[in-house]
Amino acid sequence: MIYLIFQTEIIWSYVSAFFGWVSESAGIFVLISGVIALTWVGFESKRRGSFFKRKSESESTISKFLRIILRIISYSGVVVGILCIWAGAMGLILDIPPSFKYAALNIPPHTDHFTCIFLIVVGIAMFFKPVNDLPLSSILGLIAASATVFILALLVPDAAVEFIAGWINPKLLLIIIFIIVTALVAFIAKFFIKVPQAISKFLSWPPVAFVIMVFGFIQGILLWGFGISIFMNIL
């Protein structure tokens, strides 16, 4: 038991150190966001059949190998999106400079507000981009319902179960609760998820994604390599 606790503390120290580094490396994640945006430009342009077309077409025009590569990079945006949101949020909250070079050249060290806001918005788009075509609200509903039924099965005492059995079959009651919770959570989640998914679809539209790509490459290189920001004298 002591060994397991000690091992957990070691793992947690590495996790803490990693997220600490992420908080101090917003410039790197701006550059990475440019790479993800590049895949949006390529994949969405092919799928829509045109750089400027708004509606998607069949993906049959894309070769299988290219489609797999682009999808892998795009789906990795879920993890990158979470890290971008973390870097942006911590930068704003703790006033952390976006790169070590930026901190060395700007005394006293301070955050770059536009970079942080950019990372949060693009991070949300990255997170929701791969799940736009998935029934995410239904998945969340099923997860919430499963957790609710599991907790009820563990916490409800036997005496209460016997009392309920006099009125209705406990298993049937759990099924009814499962259906109600699934429907309720799915309905609520669908309402709240529409906004970030709409933002994600707009930002992944090739012309917009191209602007994000160019900005990500330029701003990332400036922050990481030279310690300056395009907007350092604006915000």
Contact 76, 40 (CB under 8 A): no
In the prediction, which pLDDT does 63 show? 63
* Phi, psi for residue 73 in degrees, rounded to 5: -65, -40
Residue 176 is predicted with a pLDDT of 80
d(CA 141, CA 190): 10
Q: Are 87 and 23 in contact (CB under 8 A)?
A: yes
Confidence at residue 86, expressed as pLDDT on a 0 to 100 scale? 92
- As a three-state string, the secondary structure of 131-198 is HCCCCHHHHHHHHHHHHHHHHHHHHCCHHHHHHHHCCCCHHHHHHHHHHHHHHHHHHHHHHHHHHHHH
State the pLDDT at residue 56: 54
At 2 the pLDDT is 42
Spatial distance between the Cα atoms of 26 and 20, rounded to a whole number of angstroms: 11
Residue of 181, 121, 125 lying closest to 151 (CA atoms): 181
DSSP 86-99: HHHHHHHHHT--SS
What is the rounded distance in angstroms from the CA atom of residue 32 to the CA atom of residue 212? 11
Give the pLDDT of residue 4.
Answer: 40
Give average pLDDT by consecutive 10-residue segment, the chain, 235 residues.
Answer: 48 81 91 88 70 55 65 75 91 89 84 90 81 61 77 74 75 78 77 74 84 92 88 55
pTM exceeds 0.75, yes or no: no
Retrieve residue 221's tokens.
Answer: 């290189």
Q: Note the Cα 134 to chain centre separation in Å.
A: 15
pLDDT recorded at residue 214: 93
- Name the amino acid, one letter, at 103: A
